[in-house]
Chains A and B, each alone.
Chain A
Amino acid sequence: MIHRVRPDDWRLVFGYTGRVVIGFSALYLLPLATSLLAGEWSPAVDFLLGLGLALLVGIALLLVGASTARPAWIHGMVAAAVSWLVVMLLAAIPYILSGHFLSYLDACFDAMSGFTTTGLALIQDLDHVSLGLNMWRHVLTFVGGQGVVVLALAFLVNDPSGGYTLYVGEGKDERLFPSDIHTAKAIWRISMGYLLVGTAALFAAGIAIGQSPAQAFLHGLWMFMSSWSTGGFAPMSQNMLYYHSALYETLTMVFFVLGSLNFALHGAMWSGDRREIRKNLEVSTLAASLAVLVLVACAGLMRAGVYPDAMALFRKGFYLMVSGHTTTGLMNIYARQFALEWGDTAILAMIVAMLIGGSACSTAGGFKGLRVGLVAKALVRETRRIMAPSSAVIEQPYWYHGKKILDDAVLRNALMVIVLYTITFAATSLAGTAAGFPFLDAVFEAASVTGNVGLSIGVTTAAMPAFLKLTDIAVMWMGRLEFMAVIALVGFAAKSLRRK
């Protein structure tokens, strides 16, 4: 435990942040290459400027970060929180230089929305942005899904002592391998493996719906990145509606369900452990909650006569519910159709689905299925305890990468994160109503922002007040990092200010 934060502690934090920023700066090369290949000279200059600035900031942080302090748990956590803020500010540079944003705040909003795989967007005239800028938007969301820190760990940080806390600080607290660096590399291997398969499948679907090969490839790549990372960005302003294709919708649905699963589960499946997917507490919790919420929402939609037949209900109602539950946010209706057509039952089911979210240690947001499953198991345990004789010892087993017994410390941690999400959701809803939006609209959008979903009922536009944009940026950041790193940063900053 640190009793007093000294300049040396901050230097250590800056050192880690510098390494993450330098790792991040390599990403500019992808949109830069895209722009150069497409002959888009002006966007290419924007990316060169962004790359130069990121390298400059990264090197400066490394130079400042030469420290003799011993790395502790809190340094990695604080560095993870600070890194996400610094990369947001840097990622917004090509955005604002493109001329497609009304302010730097809007550019930062889209950068944070991309990194946190939320998918809400304030970009203007999306249908006419350069290929390079669209590549940048989707690369940000793809990397954000895996984690900025995971990227740096996989390719740049070779420091076992600080690596794990950085990794945990990013909201990923499971290891696929004993080493964090191997875990980070495995996460990237899994994602790149699916990137190849997914892009090929969506390329074929694009050709089938009449796209040119180049367009089918780029849209396939971007829509896979968006689906797998449960992001929600799309290259066209109509989002999924642009494609008008049941095949495209079904393929993206499979990919975003995959993306919402735990990386450790992918690792287990890829190594031939088939029983994990059938016995895993998180998978069964998510399957149960998705089944119940989909049935409630679709029954509400069918009863209200919103969609005329089963196919329309499947392509709109079911697709959007799965998109919301996996915290993807891909939309194939217009935002205001939620408010004007869906009705209260379906909207409430959607809000609950968005709050529950996907899996722990995945690209998804929300409470996470594991925590909800643990709370459900605790309820079962307490019911059994009431029924049993007072002298009985009640143990509640569950399966999660092996048989485990429900532990009070694990349960306390799960409940704490759920409570923090709920408080944040309530505060964001309040901010929405304070900005003058109707109650249900404010609550829907707050659930979407808190769970890093990206579905919109029409609240998120460039015209919304600056304080709401700032609130949403902070909430997306906290939600993605699952609060602990942000709490560590606040505590660290408070201790720095404390006098001797």
Chain B
Amino acid sequence: MHIVVCIKQVPEVSDVKVDPETKTLVREGVPSILNPFDEYAVEEALRLKKKHGGEVTVITMGPPQAREALKKCLAMGADKAVLISDRKFAGADTLATSYTLSRAIAKMDFDIVFCGKQAIDGDTAQVGPQLAEFLGIPQITYVIKVEVDPEKKIVIAHRETDDGYEVIKAKLPVLMTATKGLNEPRLPTVMGIMKASKKEIKVLTFEDLGGSEEDYGLKGSPTQVVDIFPPPVRAKGEKIIVEDPKEAAAKIIDFLIKRDLI
């Protein structure tokens, strides 16, 4: 069984601050990490490999620095890593990104494609389903449990919904997006890190993927960011310290009435 896992290197969003003067993001000193939702995807791929045998390939599109995220996946136990990198891919939105990934993955012989539910920098959750469409395979998003029958070539997955989950069956090949609750991702071991450092990361460029330049990067991106601005600032609230619960409750009720909430 060949499992391909799409990953992304992202800034540690919770460390990102906004410069109060320029009102722009301060990225200096903010570490880059493997997107947390992708860790669930990598972990599940490794578990399926352990159970059923096969191979796990991690793939990302990004600048050369994205190697670090791939190395972490190799250290966790992935077999192969692919970096799609070319200046022609720069400026890609989710559509161009998923198209680019599909060009690379379509050339591989795969049974399952895993993605994280979404990346914590963009939070779009769009690349998974868009990639599935470009690959022409079914998708199961937000999976919290996966069982594969390699003989029958079927997968049964639990898909998280608003108030529980759906049990979904699909034939392989399939694309699934992993969310929290699927598993507890392992930490790379020292041994794993050493092994990973010796592994080669294959680099794919525009020449390798082929097709029309019009479909990649900025040119292949229908969406365009036209402005970035800070979110509206919340008005400073009132902080009160109250010993008497009766008084505290009365305060809250007054406040709710004033705000027309009850």
Q: Do A and B come from one complex?
A: no
Which B positions have Cβ atoms within 8 angstroms of A?
A: none
Which A positions have Cβ atoms within 8 angstroms of B?
A: none
